[in-house]
Amino acid sequence: MRDRIVRAVTDRFAGDSGGHDADHTFRVVRNALRIWEVEGGNRDMVELAAMLHDVDDRKLFGGDPDECAFARSVMGDDFDEPFKDAVCSIIRNISFKGTDTKVPDSLEGRIVQDADRLDAIGAIGIARAFAYGGSKGRKMYDPLDKPKEGMGENEYFANTGTTVNHFYEKLLLLKDLMNTDEGRSMAQHRHDIMESFLKEFYDEWGL
Ligand code: ADP
Ligand code: NI
């Protein structure tokens, strides 16, 4: 059953180079299980929600995450309805949406949200941000284009600013939004890496 889900996820993301490939998902699973070891909760739910957290993403697949269609079809008959509903509720609520971001109401959801955020920061987070920005034809940096503060969901998703701005609009905010103690302590080091990266970036730019 686990192999089947890994295969379905791998196929779903085949061809993505914008930082949302299956490897992102597998790193999120690893982060999530590490946090689960400290924080507890339902292990199967943490693992499955992490595995399926991006398979219905609107940006990637144009579907409606609220319907959770792909995730439900992958879970099939291997899980009962309440379990599938709980996984879908996690998937629906973990995404960053600016000031409209939600804190998931279950421990398992808070763990998976932290695990996803950890992969958006640190060295891999930096690489993913530039990969994503490049895939959308965005500039890396423009000293005249200032980051926007306090964006809500619609404004955040309509935003087409530079990748460096994305650090101020999301990545550097995540450390203080972590839900779990273990997630927070993992986030601190990755946050420091981004701060050093930006300092070096501005130096090399000649600012
Ligand atoms: P989430 O996992 O919270 O749903 P997203 O799907 O929005 O996050 O983002 C996935 C990856 O793409 C993250 O690493 C994120 O930082 C990056 N990304 C999203 N929007 C941008 C952007 N405007 N510029 C650069 N990178 C972005
Ligand atoms: Ni993700």
Cα 163 to ligand 1 centre (Å): 10
pLDDT for residue 186 is more than 80: yes
Distance from C-alpha of 26 to C-alpha of 205, rounded to nearest angstrom: 35
Contacts of 95 (CB under 8 A, 6+ apart): 57, 65, 101
Contact 156, 98 (CB under 8 A): yes
Q: Is the pLDDT confidence value at 15 over 90? A: no
Mutate to test the pocket of ligand 1, among 16, 103, 113, 132 (most ligand atoms within 8 A of CB): 132
Residue 167 is predicted with a pLDDT of 98
Cα(129) to centroid(ligand 1), Å: 6
pTM: 0.95
Helix and strand totals (H; E) in the chain? 11, 0
Please state the separation of Cα 106 from the chain's center in Å: 17
Q: What is the pLDDT of residue 18?
A: 61
Average pLDDT over residues 144-148: 95
Ligand 1 atom showing the smallest separation from residue 119 Cα:
14
Provide mean pLDDT across the span 68-81: 95
